[in-house]
Structure 1
Amino acid sequence: MESLIAAVREQEEAARFLAWPGDFDLDRGDHVEEVHLASGAALEGFAGDGAGGTYFFCGEGGEERPILYADSEGGAALVAIGLPELVRLLLVVPWWRGCLAFTDEESCELEAEYLEDIPDLMARRDRAAAALGLGLPDQADALARLREVATQSGEGFVLIFTPEGHPYEPLFTP
């Protein structure tokens, strides 16, 4: 099976949607600070966002590995288990960073703001998902999964600012 990273690079429409509004760029995998996982597990930056945040694969393996997101302000959270789950999140809730309470209401308000600027957002999203061969969850399921991963599964994925030995702050609180 072809890697999803390769598929994103090959599918221009999907790559454009993930770049914006997804704010996910496969050419920005270098984090601005030296970091490591408290567990000592491997950490591999593979993508980033426009504000200096980085997506990291955690542990050994391929695209099925857990994915940690670290922002440029010293916050971090586990956001997906595997790249397909992350891409689905970015397609369905590209404004996920603003959903601190993981509620539909919060997400719908942000969605309305995005739709003002990008009226064809849903059509673009659906074409991107189809190009990548991904089925999409509904918004509530995507947020529920993000909450589960970030607040439960993510407890074992503490990012440390290596020079000072300080942990990053959790992006979400349980």
Structure 2
Amino acid sequence: MERQRAQTHNMAKAPEDSREQSHYMARAQEQRQNIPRQQQGNRSKEQAVTTSKLPGCQRKERGGTLSRLRKELADAQGKLSAYETQLEVNSRGRRDLVKENMDLQKEVYGLRDELRESEDRWVWLERKFRRLKRTAERRHRVDHACYMRLYNLVPRALEIMEGFMPLEESAESSE
């Protein structure tokens, strides 16, 4: 910050435009020589260029250029440090993104494995359910067939029992 203040202060001291510098130097020279401005008249561009070649002008011009170059150097260094900082941040961010990507890939692979296991478990449960269903249907058919046989045997058993009944009744009646 102090360097920037000093640079702006130096720049405020030295005029930026070389035309202004030559104008100020020519004016100072006129005052030293006590030559009124009206007598001198309009100067041509060549004369203006020759006045800027005075030792004082060159020194100021060089100083102005030097301060401008210092300012540009400071700006370039600032930009460079900003770019380096941004590059470091980007590389850190890139490393973080790569790590996060790897973590996400591991999670995806884990979820895929869980899905496969659950699909395998589902298939196994489905097969087991079908087997149990077939067994239950088979048992039901067997039970139904047994029931129907018993049902069909009941009248015959009743007939047989009726055949024995009269013997018992006859025995009771004989007493």
Shorter-chain TM-score tier? under 0.3
**TM-score when scaled to structure 1?**
0.21
Larger RCO (CA under 8 A, 6+ residues apart): 1
Q: TM-score w.r.t. structure 2 length?
A: 0.21
Structure with the higher fraction of residues in strand conformation: 1
Q: Which has a greater percent of helix? A: 2
